[in-house]
Amino acid sequence: MLILEAKKLNKTYVNSQGFRQSVLQDIHLQIWSGEFVAIMGPSGSGKSTLLYSISGMDKISSGSVIFEGQEIADRSEEELAEVRLTKMGFIFQQMHLLKNLNIRDNIILSAYRAKKLSRNTINKRADKLMSRTGILSLADRDITQVSGGQLQRAAICRALINEPLMVIGDEPTGALNSKSAGEIMEILNEINQEGTTILLATHDSKVAANAERILYMLDGKITAQLHLGQYNKVNGILKNREEQIIAWLYQLGF
Ligand SMILES: Nc1ncnc2c1ncn2[C@@H]1O[C@H](COP(=O)(O)OP(=O)(O)OP(=O)(O)O)[C@@H](O)[C@H]1O
């Protein structure tokens, strides 16, 4: 089943001098429920804009984005906010954690806003996520008292607290060293195996090696894709997949 489909998606920015810059051009994208897809491509090719556009955070200039069978543009702002809160989990470059809340409260806030679970269930879920990502002992710390990597783990917990259907990430391991990045990717792999769809933009072929399909963006278009098949921790060797990606990117001139 398709969870997300973009058809003829275009996004144009107009700068202060009135110049138009076409950032996404006739994008066709299909993401199947349960898939793990990575988007790669040069800086400025439109990866982040695509993620913002398909989640309805950025208005598209033309075309269509369908999430769970319904056109994003047909939803009201409130409906869209509800979809983003309960069905999508975001791990973005600007993590937008709130400065006046501690780590735990940042993580549980969106679960309270969703009003679907009891306080007890939310706290248990948050504890489990923090424990899984290794930040449980930091739960009561202010967000100014932890490292960038720990903050990123908190952002990941926050993205997962409402058990979204789909996790959308923009360089989700960007602030982490390679060991921590590997641990986060293991968690994302686990939730993917539990059925959560994952779509990530990344420059890191180690991160992309976890995905079953990789899309290449260039100048606002998806110009190539690589099918790696699902990564199976037992049989799969991440290093081989990473080498396959590096060779593919090299062929593409990246
Ligand atoms: N709000 C904006 N107004 C005008 N132009 C923008 C805006 N946001 C992004 N752009 C432009 O759109 C293009 C695509 O940017 P985008 O951030 O999507 O690229 P990216 O592939 O995610 O890059 P990176 O890998 O560096 O994060 C760039 O040329 C950028 O300058």
- pLDDT tens figures, 187-241: 899 999 999 999 999 999 999 999 999 999 999 999 999 999 988 776 668 899 9
CB of 20 closer than 6 A to ligand 1?
Answer: no
Q: Residue 77, class by beta-carbon neighbours within 10 Å (0-12 exposed, 13-18 middle, 19+ buried)?
A: exposed
pLDDT at residue 95, rounded to an integer: 66
147: pLDDT strictly greater than 70: yes
Q: Which atom of ligand 1 is nearest to the CA of 201?
A: 22
Residue from 19, 40, 49 to probe ligand 1 pocket by mutation (most atoms less than 8 Å from CB)? 49
Q: What is the pLDDT of residue 234?
A: 65
Band (pLDDT 50/70/90 cuts) for residue 94 is: low
Q: Give the mean pLDDT of 69-89.
A: 91
Tell me how far apart the alpha carbons of residues 111 and 164 are, in angstroms, rounded to a whole number. 11
Q: Which tokens belong to 89?
A: 């989990």
Indicate whether residue 17 lines ligand 1 (CB < 6 A). no
84-98, 153-167, 189-203: least confidently modelled range: 84-98
- For residues 143-154, average pLDDT: 88
Q: Which atom of ligand 1 is nearest to the CA of 52?
A: 18
Atom 7 in ligand 1: which residue has the minimum CA distance?
Answer: 13
How many Å lie between the centroid of ligand 1 and the Cα of residue 146? 29
Q: Average of pLDDT values for 89-107?
A: 87
- Region 92-104: mean pLDDT is 83
- Do the bridges between strand 36-40 and strand 221-227 make them parallel or antiparallel, or are there none, so unpaired? unpaired
- Strands 88-91 vs 166-170: parallel, antiparallel or unpaired: parallel
Distance separating alpha carbons of residues 213 and 199, to the nearest angstrom = 10
Count of all residues that appear for the chain in the document:
254
Q: Average pLDDT of the chain?
A: 92
